Amino acid sequence: MSGRNTASRLGRHEPSPSRLDVQESFRHHPLWPLISAPDLPDRIDPLIGAVRAAGDRVVWVLHAEPGTGGPFDPASGHVRPMDGLAPAGGEPVLTKTSHNAFTTTNLHQYLTAHGVRELVISGIRTEQCCETTARIGADLGYRVTFVTDATATNPIPPPGSPPGLTPAQVLADPRTLPVDDVIAGTEYALSGRFAEIRTIADLTR
Protein backbone atom coordinates (compact mmCIF):
# COMPACT_ATOMS: atom_id res chain seq x y z
CA MET A 1 0.00 0.00 0.00
CA SER A 2 1.41 3.39 -0.96
CA GLY A 3 1.87 6.24 1.50
CA ARG A 4 -0.99 8.13 -0.12
CA ASN A 5 -3.36 5.20 0.20
CA THR A 6 -2.25 4.62 3.77
CA ALA A 7 -2.96 8.22 4.76
CA SER A 8 -6.32 8.16 3.00
CA ARG A 9 -7.35 4.88 4.59
CA LEU A 10 -6.34 5.98 8.07
CA GLY A 11 -7.89 9.40 7.83
CA ARG A 12 -11.25 8.09 6.65
CA HIS A 13 -11.95 6.37 9.95
CA GLU A 14 -10.38 8.93 12.33
CA PRO A 15 -8.00 6.30 13.74
CA SER A 16 -6.04 6.46 16.95
CA PRO A 17 -2.77 4.52 16.90
CA SER A 18 -2.12 3.28 20.44
CA ARG A 19 1.28 2.43 21.93
CA LEU A 20 0.70 0.06 24.83
CA ASP A 21 3.32 -0.33 27.53
CA VAL A 22 6.36 0.47 25.37
CA GLN A 23 7.98 1.55 28.61
CA GLU A 24 11.29 1.35 30.41
CA SER A 25 9.78 -1.04 32.96
CA PHE A 26 10.28 -3.95 30.57
CA ARG A 27 13.99 -3.27 30.17
CA HIS A 28 14.28 -3.77 33.93
CA HIS A 29 12.20 -6.94 33.99
CA PRO A 30 14.14 -10.20 34.52
CA LEU A 31 12.80 -11.69 31.26
CA TRP A 32 13.79 -8.75 29.04
CA PRO A 33 16.74 -10.76 27.59
CA LEU A 34 14.12 -13.08 26.02
CA ILE A 35 12.01 -10.32 24.43
CA SER A 36 11.13 -11.04 20.81
CA ALA A 37 11.87 -7.52 19.55
CA PRO A 38 14.45 -5.66 21.66
CA ASP A 39 14.57 -3.06 18.88
CA LEU A 40 10.86 -2.27 19.25
CA PRO A 41 11.34 1.51 19.64
CA ASP A 42 13.24 1.60 16.33
CA ARG A 43 10.57 -0.56 14.69
CA ILE A 44 7.63 1.60 15.66
CA ASP A 45 9.29 5.00 15.17
CA PRO A 46 8.49 5.00 11.39
CA LEU A 47 4.94 3.93 12.17
CA ILE A 48 4.54 6.82 14.59
CA GLY A 49 5.89 9.20 11.97
CA ALA A 50 3.51 7.88 9.33
CA VAL A 51 0.40 8.20 11.44
CA ARG A 52 1.36 11.68 12.61
CA ALA A 53 1.95 12.71 9.01
CA ALA A 54 -1.52 11.41 8.15
CA GLY A 55 -3.00 13.68 10.82
CA ASP A 56 -4.10 10.80 13.05
CA ARG A 57 -4.11 10.77 16.83
CA VAL A 58 -1.47 8.89 18.82
CA VAL A 59 -2.33 7.68 22.32
CA TRP A 60 0.37 6.41 24.69
CA VAL A 61 -0.65 3.93 27.38
CA LEU A 62 1.60 2.96 30.29
CA HIS A 63 1.10 0.16 32.81
CA ALA A 64 1.53 0.77 36.54
CA GLU A 65 1.52 -1.52 39.58
CA PRO A 66 1.68 0.90 42.53
CA GLY A 67 3.14 -0.37 45.75
CA THR A 68 4.70 -3.51 44.31
CA GLY A 69 8.29 -2.34 44.47
CA GLY A 70 8.97 -3.77 41.00
CA PRO A 71 9.78 -2.15 37.67
CA PHE A 72 6.09 -1.32 37.07
CA ASP A 73 5.81 0.55 40.36
CA PRO A 74 5.74 4.29 39.55
CA ALA A 75 8.20 4.79 42.41
CA SER A 76 10.82 2.94 40.33
CA GLY A 77 10.94 5.75 37.77
CA HIS A 78 10.58 3.25 34.92
CA VAL A 79 6.90 3.85 34.14
CA ARG A 80 7.68 6.10 31.18
CA PRO A 81 8.10 5.63 27.43
CA MET A 82 11.22 3.74 26.42
CA ASP A 83 14.25 5.83 25.65
CA GLY A 84 14.09 6.92 22.04
CA LEU A 85 10.32 7.41 22.09
CA ALA A 86 8.62 10.63 23.11
CA PRO A 87 5.00 11.76 22.93
CA ALA A 88 4.52 14.87 20.84
CA GLY A 89 2.79 17.88 22.31
CA GLY A 90 -0.88 17.22 22.89
CA GLU A 91 -0.63 13.41 22.61
CA PRO A 92 -2.30 11.90 25.67
CA VAL A 93 -0.35 9.60 27.98
CA LEU A 94 -2.70 7.36 29.95
CA THR A 95 -1.73 5.07 32.82
CA LYS A 96 -3.61 1.82 33.35
CA THR A 97 -3.58 -0.79 36.09
CA SER A 98 -5.50 -3.43 34.10
CA HIS A 99 -4.15 -5.52 31.23
CA ASN A 100 -6.31 -3.75 28.64
CA ALA A 101 -6.14 -0.04 27.90
CA PHE A 102 -9.83 0.67 28.47
CA THR A 103 -10.99 -0.62 31.87
CA THR A 104 -8.93 1.61 34.17
CA THR A 105 -8.49 4.68 31.94
CA ASN A 106 -10.69 7.21 30.14
CA LEU A 107 -9.50 5.96 26.74
CA HIS A 108 -12.99 5.12 25.47
CA GLN A 109 -14.30 8.55 26.50
CA TYR A 110 -11.33 10.26 24.83
CA LEU A 111 -11.79 8.35 21.58
CA THR A 112 -15.54 8.98 21.57
CA ALA A 113 -15.08 12.69 22.20
CA HIS A 114 -12.76 12.96 19.19
CA GLY A 115 -14.84 10.82 16.86
CA VAL A 116 -12.26 8.04 16.64
CA ARG A 117 -13.63 4.76 15.28
CA GLU A 118 -10.44 2.88 14.35
CA LEU A 119 -7.58 1.66 16.52
CA VAL A 120 -4.08 0.79 15.33
CA ILE A 121 -2.40 -1.18 18.10
CA SER A 122 1.26 -1.79 18.89
CA GLY A 123 3.20 -2.40 22.09
CA ILE A 124 4.23 -4.98 24.71
CA ARG A 125 3.17 -7.77 25.25
CA THR A 126 1.66 -9.16 22.08
CA GLU A 127 -0.70 -11.69 23.67
CA GLN A 128 -1.37 -9.83 26.90
CA CYS A 129 -2.06 -6.09 26.94
CA CYS A 130 -2.09 -5.68 23.14
CA GLU A 131 -4.37 -8.62 22.37
CA THR A 132 -6.69 -7.88 25.29
CA THR A 133 -7.04 -4.26 24.19
CA ALA A 134 -7.78 -5.38 20.63
CA ARG A 135 -10.51 -7.74 21.80
CA ILE A 136 -12.20 -5.16 24.02
CA GLY A 137 -11.82 -2.45 21.41
CA ALA A 138 -13.57 -4.64 18.86
CA ASP A 139 -16.37 -5.42 21.30
CA LEU A 140 -16.80 -1.68 21.85
CA GLY A 141 -17.35 -1.23 18.13
CA TYR A 142 -13.94 0.00 16.96
CA ARG A 143 -12.34 -1.18 13.77
CA VAL A 144 -9.06 -2.63 15.03
CA THR A 145 -5.80 -2.93 13.11
CA PHE A 146 -3.22 -5.07 14.93
CA VAL A 147 0.36 -4.40 13.82
CA THR A 148 2.01 -7.62 14.95
CA ASP A 149 5.60 -6.75 14.07
CA ALA A 150 5.16 -3.54 16.09
CA THR A 151 4.57 -5.67 19.19
CA ALA A 152 6.89 -7.77 21.34
CA THR A 153 6.59 -10.60 23.82
CA ASN A 154 8.47 -13.30 25.76
CA PRO A 155 8.37 -17.08 25.80
CA ILE A 156 5.63 -18.16 28.22
CA PRO A 157 6.37 -20.71 30.95
CA PRO A 158 3.81 -23.50 31.37
CA PRO A 159 0.79 -23.06 33.67
CA GLY A 160 1.65 -23.52 37.32
CA SER A 161 5.23 -22.30 36.98
CA PRO A 162 6.52 -20.43 40.04
CA PRO A 163 6.98 -16.67 39.74
CA GLY A 164 10.40 -15.14 39.33
CA LEU A 165 11.89 -17.65 36.91
CA THR A 166 15.19 -16.67 35.32
CA PRO A 167 15.56 -16.60 31.52
CA ALA A 168 17.63 -19.79 31.72
CA GLN A 169 14.92 -21.56 33.72
CA VAL A 170 12.21 -20.45 31.29
CA LEU A 171 14.15 -21.76 28.30
CA ALA A 172 15.15 -25.00 30.05
CA ASP A 173 11.55 -26.16 30.45
CA PRO A 174 10.50 -28.06 27.30
CA ARG A 175 6.90 -27.06 27.96
CA THR A 176 7.67 -23.35 27.58
CA LEU A 177 5.73 -21.76 24.70
CA PRO A 178 8.18 -20.16 22.21
CA VAL A 179 7.60 -16.58 21.08
CA ASP A 180 6.77 -17.64 17.52
CA ASP A 181 3.93 -19.78 18.87
CA VAL A 182 2.75 -16.99 21.18
CA ILE A 183 2.62 -14.51 18.31
CA ALA A 184 0.96 -16.98 15.95
CA GLY A 185 -1.67 -17.75 18.59
CA THR A 186 -2.54 -14.07 18.90
CA GLU A 187 -2.85 -13.65 15.14
CA TYR A 188 -5.03 -16.75 14.83
CA ALA A 189 -7.27 -15.58 17.67
CA LEU A 190 -7.68 -12.00 16.45
CA SER A 191 -7.82 -12.33 12.67
CA GLY A 192 -11.33 -12.34 11.27
CA ARG A 193 -12.84 -11.95 14.73
CA PHE A 194 -11.42 -8.93 16.51
CA ALA A 195 -8.84 -7.29 14.24
CA GLU A 196 -7.21 -7.00 10.87
CA ILE A 197 -3.58 -8.13 11.02
CA ARG A 198 -1.16 -5.71 9.33
CA THR A 199 2.57 -5.03 9.24
CA ILE A 200 4.60 -1.87 9.76
CA ALA A 201 5.47 -1.92 6.05
CA ASP A 202 1.77 -2.02 5.14
CA LEU A 203 1.17 1.24 6.95
CA THR A 204 4.34 3.13 6.10
CA ARG A 205 5.07 2.53 2.42
pTM for this entry: 0.91
* Per-residue pLDDT at 125 exceeds 70: yes
* Per-residue pLDDT at 74 exceeds 60: yes
What average pLDDT does range 131-136 have in this prediction?
Answer: 98
Q: Which of 201, 57, 179 is nearest to 128 (CA)?
A: 179
| End-to-end C-alpha distance for the chain, whole angstroms | 6
CA distance 203 to 2: 8
Q: Which of 81, 104, 95 is nearest to 22 (CA)?
A: 81
All domains of the chain, ordered by start, with CATH?
A: 3-204 (3.40.50.850)
* Per-residue pLDDT at 9 exceeds 60: no
Q: Which of 76, 75, 60 is nearest to 22 (CA)?
A: 60
CA distance 58 to 10: 12
Burial class (CB in 10 A: 0-12, 13-18, 19+), 49: exposed
The pLDDT value given to residue 13: 54
